[in-house]
């Protein structure tokens, strides 16, 4: 976007929404996850992935493994990676038992697979992941800033330190995940974060970016008035 250095990725699993996001000319990449796929009613993972890849024109896109044991995760990751050279394999930082995925990440990185490590919420996890990547490989470190904020904690300190570590290591891009509002894009950009993922509702608000407050006030009242007319009744 004009005036911003950060890359904006669309987060979703509805192919038509992805196409619409691409056509806006703002989005430079895409991410998906099992929760979004469930909401979208996806029933065939590979068919969905292939359809999506045919629509994103070579833009980077992340597909997540589904398994919870590391042996199966590895097999899934290797299959996903073969779908395209623009594919990043999403690996959660732990399995459901709380066991670290770092050994698996290191093994996959040695195979030159591009990895997007997801569900990161601590600086210690950032450090561990960066050490696991093979030099010269392309990777993404997804820190869930929005979920940190959901706990009542300001995530900017975590993201600022993550920016420093990622820049120092030079083997990955930092991604601000679980964004909640347009303001997060500005915050992430000011901190020097490389990428932010946004859902369709946030993308649809981007035309409000930089909007004059007085103009926005009038626009809000006009919206209220339209809803009043749609209700079709009066108080008096």
The pLDDT score that the predictor gives to residue 232 is: 93
Size of the chain, expressed as the number of residues it contains: 236
**pLDDT (tens digit per residue) in 145-183:** 999 999 999 999 999 999 999 999 999 999 999 999 999
Please tell me the distance from the alpha carbon of residue 101 to that of residue 95, in angstroms, as a whole number: 7
157 part of the active site = no
Mean pLDDT (whole number) for 76-103? 98
**pLDDT (tens digit per residue) in 172-181:** 999 999 999 9
pLDDT > 80? residue 1? no
**pLDDT (tens digit per residue) in 183-221:** 999 999 999 999 999 999 999 898 888 899 999 999 999
Residue among 50, 90, 97, 127 flagged as catalytic: 90
Query: For residue 64, how far is the Cα from the chain centroid?
Result: 12
The pLDDT score that the predictor gives to residue 229 is: 94
pLDDT > 70? residue 47? yes
The larger pLDDT score, comparing residue 22 to residue 130, is at: 130
């Amino acid at each position: 976007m004009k005036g911003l250095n950060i890359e904006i990725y669309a987060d979703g699993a509805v192919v038509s929404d992805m196409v619409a996001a691409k056509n806006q000319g703002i989005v430079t990449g895409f991410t998906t996850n099992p929760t979004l796929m469930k909401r979208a009613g996806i029933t065939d993972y590979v068919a969905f992935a292939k359809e999506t890849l045919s629509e994103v024109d070579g833009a980077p896109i992340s597909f997540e493994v589904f398994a919870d044991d590391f042996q199966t995760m590895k097999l899934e990751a290797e299959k996903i990676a073969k779908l395209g050279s623009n594919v990043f394999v999403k690996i959660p930082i732990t399995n459901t038992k709380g066991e670290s995925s770092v050994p698996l990440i290191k093994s996959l990185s040695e195979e030159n697979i591009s990895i997007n490590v997801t569900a990161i919420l601590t600086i210690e996890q950032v450090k561990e992941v960066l050490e696991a990547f093979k030099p010269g490989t392309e990777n993404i470190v997804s820190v869930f800033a929005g979920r940190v904020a959901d706990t009542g904690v300001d995530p900017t300190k975590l993201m600022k330190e993550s920016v420093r570590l990622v820049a120092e290591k030079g083997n990955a891009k930092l991604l601000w995940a679980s964004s909640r509002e347009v303001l997060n894009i500005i915050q992430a950009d000011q901190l020097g974060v490389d990428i932010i993922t946004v859902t369709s509702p946030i993308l649809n608000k981007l035309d409000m970016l930089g909007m004059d407050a007085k103009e926005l006030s009038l626009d809000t009242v006009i919206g209220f008035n339209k809803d009043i007319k749609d209700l079709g009744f009066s108080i008096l």
